[in-house]
Amino acid sequence: MSTAMAVEFKLPDLGEGVHEGQVVKLHVRAGETIREDAPLMEVETDKAAVEIPSPVTGTVTRCHVEENELVHVGDVMFTFDAAEAGRPAAASEAPPQRTATTPTPVVATGGHVSGRRTPASPSVRRIARERGIDLSSIHGSGPGGRVTRADVEAASGGAFTNPPKVMSAETATQRPPVVEATPVTPLAPAAPRAGTNPLAVEGTEDSDEYGMIVRQPLSQARKTISNVMSTAWTTIPHVTDCNDADITELERMRREFADPDHPDRRLTVLAFVVRAVCRALQSVPILNATLDESSGEVVYRRYVNIGIGVETERGLVAPVIRDADRMTVGQIADALEIISSNARSASFGVNDTRGGTYTISNAGAMGPTRYSTPIIQPGQVGCLALGRARKMPWVVDDEIVPRLILPLSHSMDHRLVDGGREIPYIGHLIEDLQNPMRFMI
C-alpha cells in the first residue's frame, strides 16, 4: 500500500556569493510526475546556467515560480507529493540493476577540481534517463571522468536501437583524454537560412517613430555581463598594446606532435599560448597581481589561474583553468577541451568561473578578426585577445617569405602596469611563441 508525503523544495545554494538567479526553464508543471534526479528546472545566475535535478520521485502538486522569474536561494520552488521509501514500483518504472555508486569523477587537470555532479552532455543525460541508468553509478571514460554515450551503452548492456542523430565530440570520446574537437572554439552565429528574415528575433513587437521594433528582456546572464563590463570599463584605465607573433614553427610542431601515452591527443595553438602566457606571467608577476583599493596594496598571487573566454548561446563566459602554470601543453589541451565542452553544454557551475588571475580571449576562432581592445576582468590587471592567424609576407633574414602570423592584443590596467613592465611581458610571450621548444622541453 503506497503512501505519500508533502515535500517543499527550496532553491539550493548555487555557489559562493550567489544569492539569486533567473528561472530559464521549468521541466515540469503542477500535476506532472517526476523521478528523482530527473531535470527539474534550469536557473541562470552569474554567467552560468545551472540544471537542478529533482530531489524526490513524486507528483508536483504546486509550482511556485514561473519562467523568467527572479528567485532567491531559500525560496520555495515546488511542492511534491513524494512517494515514501519502500513504495513498490510500477512495472513500467522497474528500477534497473545498479552497481555500487562511484564517487563523482573530477577534472584531472593538475589542480582544477570540481565538486559538481557527474559530468555528461545533455544528450547523454537524456539517453541515460530513457534507459533508466543512474549516471552516478558510472565511471566516466571521457576527459575528466565525463560520462560518454559509450559508457551509458555499456552500462545498459547493449547497443542503442535509436542512437542520437547528432553526436557531440565529447560523447564520441572513448578513452581519456581524447580531443575530438578543436578546444575553445566559440560558437559562431548561425547564418540565416534562405528565405528567412535575418532581422527576425523573438520578443514583444512594438514600434518607434521610425518603424517596427521588437523588445526582448535581458537574460540574467546578459545583465551580469553588462554590469561587469560597465564596472571594468569605467573603473580600470585600459591601455591596449597590439603586436604580432610568427607562429610558423609552433604550427609545424603542433601538427607533428605525437604523445605515445595519448596517441589521439591533438593540440591547438591556444594550448601553446596558455603555456607561454603562464611563463611570461612568472617573469613579470605584476600582471598576475590584483589591486586591493581598500587597503592600498598590490596583492601578488603565487598561483596562476587562466580564464578562457568561451562564446555560448547565453553570452561570453570565462571558465578557469586552475594552476595552469603547473601543467604541460598536453594537460592544458585536455583542460581546454573539458571547459569548452562544459561551457557550450551549460554543464558547469558558477564556481568554475571564479578565481581567475588573467584572461585569454580566443577572438580569432569566431571569424577573421585581427586586433581588438579586450576588457580586463575586475580583480585582474591584464587580458590577452588572439586574432585569427593567417599567412602573410614577412621579412626573415632580409628576405620576404610567407609566414603564419598571430595577432595579439594585450590590455593592461595602467594603474599598476606601465610600459616598463608590459613591454618585457609581451616580449617574453612573443619569444616563446616564436621559439616553442623553449617550453616544450
Higher pLDDT, 336 or 192: 336
201 in a domain, yes or no? no
In this structure, the answer to whether residues 51 and 145 fall within a common structural domain is: no
197 in a domain, yes or no? no
Last residue of a domain, one of 28, 54, 85: 85
Confidence category of residue 197, pLDDT binned at 50, 70, 90:
low
What is the distance between the alpha carbons of residues 428 and 248, in angstroms, rounded to a whole number? 17
Higher pLDDT, 55 or 405: 405
110 in a domain, yes or no? yes
Between 179-183, 190-194, 381-385, the lowest mean confidence (pLDDT) is in: 179-183
State yes or no: pLDDT of 270 exceeds 80: yes
In this structure, the answer to whether residues 238 and 350 fall within a common structural domain is: yes
Residues whose CB is less than 8 angstroms from the CB of residue 422 and which lie 6 or more positions away in sequence, other chains included: 239, 241, 284, 287, 410, 412
Of 14-18, 170-174, 251-255, 340-344, give the range with the top mean pLDDT: 251-255
In this structure, the answer to whether residues 78 and 106 fall within a common structural domain is: no
In this structure, the answer to whether residues 343 and 403 fall within a common structural domain is: yes
Q: What are the helix and strand counts (H, E) for the chain? A: 9, 20
In this structure, the answer to whether residues 303 and 374 fall within a common structural domain is: yes
Confidence category of residue 144, pLDDT binned at 50, 70, 90:
low
Last residue of a domain, one of 33, 58, 85: 85
In this structure, the answer to whether residues 323 and 396 fall within a common structural domain is: yes
Last residue of a domain, one of 41, 59, 85: 85
Confidence category of residue 256, pLDDT binned at 50, 70, 90:
confident
Say what the pLDDT of residue 410 is: 98
Residue 93 dihedral angles phi and psi, to the nearest 5°: -115, 25
Say what the pLDDT of residue 154 is: 79
200 in a domain, yes or no? no
Between 101-105, 188-192, 322-326, 393-397, the lowest mean confidence (pLDDT) is in: 101-105
Alpha helices in 102-212 (DSSP H): 122-131, 149-156, 169-172
In this structure, the answer to whether residues 30 and 67 fall within a common structural domain is: yes
In this structure, the answer to whether residues 43 and 110 fall within a common structural domain is: no
State the pTM of this model: 0.62
Instruction: Give the total number of structural domains in the chain.
Output: 3
153 in a domain, yes or no? yes
For 365-369, which contacts have Cβ atoms below 8 Å and span 24 or more sequence positions?
365/182, 365/184, 365/185, 365/186, 365/270, 366/186, 366/188, 366/311, 367/188
204 in a domain, yes or no? no
Q: In terms of residue numbers, what domain contains 251?
A: 221-440
Say what the pLDDT of residue 149 is: 73
Say what the pLDDT of residue 132 is: 77
414 carries an active-site annotation: yes
pLDDT in tens, 403-435: 999 999 999 999 999 999 999 999 999 999 999
Domain harbouring 399, CATH code: 3.30.559.10
Residues 13, 190 contacting (CB under 8 angstroms): no
In this structure, the answer to whether residues 69 and 111 fall within a common structural domain is: no
Higher pLDDT, 207 or 315: 207
In this structure, the answer to whether residues 113 and 79 fall within a common structural domain is: no
Domain harbouring 70, CATH code: 2.40.50.100
State yes or no: pLDDT of 223 exceeds 60: yes
pLDDT in tens, 104-141: 333 333 333 333 456 666 557 767 777 778 877 887 77
Between 158-172, 294-308, 319-333, the lowest mean confidence (pLDDT) is in: 158-172
Residues 404, 251 contacting (CB under 8 angstroms): yes
pLDDT in tens, 23-52: 888 999 999 999 888 889 988 876 567 788
265 in a domain, yes or no? yes
Of 359, 434, 441, 424, the closest CA to residue 389 belongs to: 434
212 in a domain, yes or no? no
Catalytic residue of the set 139, 238, 262, 414: 414
In this structure, the answer to whether residues 13 and 47 fall within a common structural domain is: yes
In this structure, the answer to whether residues 18 and 162 fall within a common structural domain is: no
Q: What is the mean pLDDT of residues 352-361?
A: 93
Q: What is the mean pLDDT of residues 262-286?
A: 93
Average pLDDT, the chain: 80
Q: What is the mean pLDDT of residues 291-311?
A: 95
Confidence category of residue 310, pLDDT binned at 50, 70, 90:
confident
Say what the pLDDT of residue 143 is: 61
Helix axes 329-344, 269-283, angle to 10 degrees: 110
Q: Percent of the chain scored above 70 by pLDDT?
A: 76
State yes or no: pLDDT of 168 exceeds 70: no
What is the distance between the alpha carbons of residues 347 and 339, in angstroms, rounded to a whole number? 9
Domain harbouring 152, CATH code: 4.10.320.10
Cell of 223: 545583465
